[in-house]
Amino acid sequence: MKPKMIIKNQNGGAVVEFAIILPLLIFLLFGIIEGGLLLYNKQIITNACREGARAGIVSRTPRLSNGAIEDEVIKYGKAYLVTFGLATLEKADIDLLTINNDSTTFNPAIDRCTSFGCDLKVVVTYDYDFLVLSAFGPITLNAKTIMKME
């Protein structure tokens, strides 16, 4: 009769089931949180890229230098990025190009075309580090903005 008593006794069954499911629930919870932060930071990188391009195309004398455009992108990124890792938005992560076939409007002082109608292309890359889900490694976020000079 004792074997039937042991089989019918279910004390602690819920605790065992909870212990089995708890790691999955924690992984799911932190996955949702980190996924939201990843999407938020992607949008911030896109906005920082747009802010830099906008600052670079505005008609002013003299035009902003490439370093000043990079500073605009970095300032926006530092103000709004949410990061838990070591990655920050640095100058080396920003690429400035102009798309123009007319070499007469090329300004060698700032290494790009400055006349009306030239395209300014700003490319920003950022390595997002996960806080809890670091096993997935850093993910590279990219943003590209092309605007015409005013």
Decide the pairing of beta strands 94-99 and 112-113. unpaired
Name, of 38-47, 58-67, 119-128, the range with top average pLDDT. Answer: 38-47
Find the length of the chain: 150
**Residue range 66-119, pLDDT digits in tens:** 888 888 998 998 889 887 766 667 754 566 665 555 544 555 455 667 677 778
Domain limits, the chain = 8-148
Confidence of residue 8 (pLDDT cuts 50, 70, 90): low
Distance CA 96, CA 83 (A): 25
Query: Which of 107, 139, 121 lies closest to 41 in space, CA to CA?
Result: 139
Query: Which of 63, 73, 77, 65 lies closest to 115 in space, CA to CA?
Result: 63
Query: Which of 103, 21, 143, 43 lies closest to 111 in space, CA to CA?
Result: 103
| CB-CB contact of 111 with 97 (8 Å) | no
Question: What is the overall mean pLDDT for the chain?
Answer: 80
| CB-CB contact of 99 with 122 (8 Å) | no
Tokens of 148: 């015409």
**Residue range 30-53, pLDDT digits in tens:** 989 999 999 999 999 999 999 998
